[in-house]
Structure 1
Amino acid sequence: MTKTAPDISLPRGVSDFLPETAAKIGYIEAKIRRVFELWGFRRVITPKLEYEDVMAIGMGDELKGKTYRFDDRQTGRLLAFPPDITPQIARIVATRLKSWPLPHRISYSGRVLRQTEMQTGRSREIFQSGVELIGLDSPEADAEMIAMAVEAMQGLGFDDFKIDLGQVEFCRGVMAASGLSGAPLRELQEAVARKDSSAVAKVLAESNVSADACREISVLPRLFGGREVLLEAERVVTNSRSRLALENLRQVLDILDIHGVSDFLTIDLGETRGLDYHTGITFEGFVSGLGEPVCGGGRYDTLTARYGFPAPATGFTFNILNLLQALERQPEVEACTTRDFLLFNCCNDRREVLEVARLLRVKGFTTARDIIRREYDSSVEYARRMNIRC
């Protein structure tokens, strides 16, 4: 009787990262972490498990729906794998750091798990490296996040990338003027996010929306581009909430101009991402040839208050695997996967070769010993296949 081999495959949506890929991930994370350090951010390490009800305090419905939950045998409470690190930072600030002086400049790096639909093919594991600036409500704080993202992208070797800026209060003001709610409002928001003017017109035609509100909403899909977008928005939009948002965005752009990063910016006033979470400036970073964002974030002034510590906040995170996809073939990233030396000896006395290996390591060279006794050509072939230079 033939024994059936056990299924030792991985679950869908997770991966093993072999040495070369792991080295590239480490290289990207280290470059980003160094930028965070240079801007004065200090790293925290968050746990891989949280109580589900504690995590839920800081999450919207979308993230709640993507959370892995299971019972804790010790307490009977429901545990969760955090699907995002930002709520964990909010909890830490509200509990462990509440007596510390503000602002908090916190950085983090880690993996989170999210439920995904099988047909999407998306990874369930997300490698995040990000920062949170908690305790400052100012355009300069928002600008600092964006300038830091640009600096990190440049440090990784990108030159063809854009940061898309939005201001959710602008969109909220326009949407509020429509008087829509429920399914029609969600349909309208989705159409605006797709820049689908025809779908926007269809929703408005089927709804009892005033002529003034229709005029403001209809222009949203077109409010994308450079600073001229602000002039167009001011010409069309009259509600005070949206106009205050435009003034805030203008202040942030002025500071970003001082940072010298304006060439990397585009404005998207029809951005509806984060309407249930963000409270002001939002942004996403895109690189040429990759449809998914490599970073994203914005202002979220109400999150820490959910944990009992009201404080304004802004932050952003990099998606490391998306960065890897964009960077994988760059020479600097390829170089981080190589090793310097493979040493072998042709006689029984290993003292000399071990001393040489020690000296090379002292000098900072990666050095492995070819302990197996084999022919010289075999050692050279092994070094070639293992990406060892010498």
Structure 2
Amino acid sequence: MTNPDDLLPEGLEDRLPTEARAVSRAMRQILDVMDAHGYDRVSPPLVEFEKSLAGRMVGGNDGTTARRMFRFVDPVSLRMLAVRSDMTPQIGRIAATGLAAAARPLRLCYGGEVALVRADQLDPARQRLQLGAELIGSDTVAAAAEMIALAIEALEGAGAKGISVDFTLPDLVDILAKKALPLAPERIAQVRRELDTKDAGGLALVPGGAAYMPLLYATGPFDEAIARLFEIDAGGALASRIAGLKQIAERVAERARLTLDPTERHGFEYQSWFGFTIYADGVRGAVGRGGTYAIGGTDEPATGFSLYIDAMIGALKASPAADILFLPLGHDRDVAARLRAIGWRTREALSGNDDAEALGCTHRLDGREPTAL
């Protein structure tokens, strides 16, 4: 019978051996890919002063993001601390302080746990493993193309299959509203909202909103959607962005399915001209999101992405477990060490009653060689 005191809070769960092994392996493979491309890993603390952490986060100035973080008083400094809910702002702080004098563009990667006070309806988890990479000092087309290619390769290295990438243009309405499709400043947020919900009727009711109706249909497979977006581009206001999207797509077109939803803003509230969401076969919801943005506090341009591989656990743990070698009493320890060095996992008998199969072993060490059970 389960002790009520042993129950975990809503949105938190243990990772048992199979899941923990799959996640650890995927994390290691993803970070290895980033390292191979010259991204240096940094490891910020789990807890920081709330003011510093929230000040570099989206909504930090109005308290929106701060309310998503677990907060408590530091008994040493008597200042408010917070548990990070996103590692990206911490990377920005590191770039602006300890690595302020480092050459740009600066390539950094990271991996660690984050926690949320409340999760969203689509993902009830309140503790997540976040991995990512940031290219700081550049938000160019070349930087965006490098980020997407890196994210795809990292996920492939972790075992993801059938990767697809959905592009968006977070500042699309702002750009068009200036001249091409004029909107009163107070109407911009309304048009964004109706485009977010794909509500043609609501969009038509907003003064000036009807002109944005064609954007609702510039979605779908990339080649078709970008052609429709080009037709909408009155006066060439989006010419540079369309050219940039085509250049980015060209780099990764053979490695992933590409789609375009130029008005999608969920999860892209602070990105500038470009954003993307990554999906994989067999995984519910997005496995990653990224784009171009300005670092809070310094406004230094950057391009990056975050991967949340918890959603991939179901697919990852389906991979076969590694063989385990049972080491009986009195075995040759030098032989066991040699076998571990070439990749064997071992479990050593502590008594004559230990049963190799009951302990999950697949092989037994007989003399100097493993024998299948």
Q: TM-score, normalised by structure 2?
A: 0.86
Q: Does 1:316 align with 2:310?
A: no
Per-residue CA deviations over 1:12-67 (Å, capped at 9, x if unaligned) read 11111122211111110011111101111110001011111111121123533311
1-structure distance, mates of 2:351, 2:200: 69
Number of the residue aligned with 1:371: 350
Q: Does 1:360 align with 2:356?
A: no
Query: Cα distance, 1:237 vs. partner?
Result: 3.0
Q: Which amino acid aligns with 2:227?
A: L
Q: In terms of mean alpha carbon deviation, does 8-17 or 244-253 score higher?
A: 244-253
Query: Cα distance, 1:242 vs. partner?
Result: 3.4
Structure 2 alignment gaps of length 5 or more: 365-373
Q: Which amino acid aligns with 2:281?
A: S
Q: Which amino acid aligns with 2:244?
A: N
Contact 1:282 1:297 in 2 (8 A): yes
Residue 234 of structure 2: which of 213, 231, 238 is its match?
238
Within 5 Å, give how 1:1-390 maps onto structure 2. Answer: 7-61=5-59, 63-116=65-118, 122-174=124-176, 177=181, 179=183, 186=189, 188-194=191-197, 196=198, 199-205=199-205, 207-209=206-208, 213-215=209-211, 217-224=212-219, 225-238=221-234, 241-256=237-252, 260-261=254-255, 263-300=256-293, 302-303=294-295, 306-308=296-298, 310-329=299-318, 331=319, 334-335=320-321, 338-345=322-329, 350=330, 352-374=331-353, 379-383=355-359, 386=360, 388-390=362-364
Contact 1:50 1:81 in 2 (8 A): yes
Q: Which amino acid aligns with 1:223?
A: A
**1:179 and 1:275, CA in 2 relative to 1: closer, same or farther beyond 3 A?**
farther
Contact 2:279 2:285 in 1 (8 A): yes
Q: Which amino acid aligns with 1:229?
A: A
Contact 2:325 2:361 in 1 (8 A): no
Per-residue CA deviations over 1:248-275 (Å, capped at 9, x if unaligned) read 3233234445xx43x5322221212355
Identity %: 27
Contact 1:167 1:282 in 2 (8 A): yes
Query: Cα distance, 1:185 vs. partner?
Result: 5.3
Structure 1 alignment gaps of length 5 or more: none
Per-residue CA deviations over 1:146-197 (Å, capped at 9, x if unaligned) read 1111212322333422111112232432466463666x75564344234x3x
Q: TM-score, normalised by structure 1?
A: 0.82
1-structure distance, mates of 2:287, 2:332: 45
Query: Cα distance, 1:342 vs. partner?
Result: 0.9
Query: Cα distance, 1:105 vs. partner?
Result: 0.6
2-structure distance, mates of 1:103, 1:185: 33
Contact 2:271 2:291 in 1 (8 A): yes
Query: Cα distance, 1:129 vs. partner?
Result: 1.0
Contact 2:11 2:119 in 1 (8 A): no
Query: Cα distance, 1:202 vs. partner?
Result: 2.2
Contact 2:160 2:281 in 1 (8 A): no
SS of residue in 2 equivalent to 1:379 = coil
1-structure distance, mates of 2:123, 2:164: 26
**1:362 and 1:226, CA in 2 relative to 1: closer, same or farther beyond 3 A?**
closer
Query: Cα distance, 1:297 vs. partner?
Result: 0.5
**1:289 and 1:39, CA in 2 relative to 1: closer, same or farther beyond 3 A?**
same
Contact 2:149 2:251 in 1 (8 A): no
Q: In terms of mean alpha carbon deviation, does 238-247 or 70-79 score higher?
A: 238-247
Q: How well do the aligned residues superpose, as a CA RMSD in angstroms?
A: 2.6
2-structure distance, mates of 1:118, 1:276: 16
Q: In terms of mean alpha carbon deviation, does 354-363 or 276-285 score higher?
A: 354-363
**1:288 and 1:191, CA in 2 relative to 1: closer, same or farther beyond 3 A?**
farther
2-structure distance, mates of 1:289, 1:25: 16
SS of residue in 2 equivalent to 1:47 = coil
Contact 2:195 2:203 in 1 (8 A): no
Count of matched residue pairs = 356
**1:15 and 1:186, CA in 2 relative to 1: closer, same or farther beyond 3 A?**
farther
